[in-house]
Amino acid sequence: MSSFGSTVYAVAEEPGGVETAVAEYLDSTIGGKVFVTRARNEGAETIYGK
């Protein structure tokens, strides 16, 4: 997926500080977007035969 450009991943208990720091950095340099998501912590589910 290199056509989408650079990507940075971070894992944090309190993502607000990371989100703010990265957004400020991007605003002052190359621009970009920050997305914050939560882990799902579930594997694949097999639905065959249900």
Say what the pLDDT of residue 27 is. 94
Rounded to the nearest 5°, which phi and psi values hold at 41? 55, 35
Sign of the alpha-carbon dihedral angle for 45, 10, 3, 35: positive
Please state, in angstroms and rounded to a whole number, the distance separating the CA atoms of residues 40 and 48. 22
Collapsing DSSP states into helix, strand and coil, what is residue 47? coil
Tokens, residue 30: 């190359």
Distance CA 19, CA 9 (A): 11
pLDDT of residue 24: 95
Query: CA 39, CA 7: separation in Å to the nearest integer?
Result: 17
Give the per-residue pLDDT at 50.
Answer: 60
- Series of mean pLDDT values for 10-residue runs along the chain (50 residues): 71 88 92 86 79
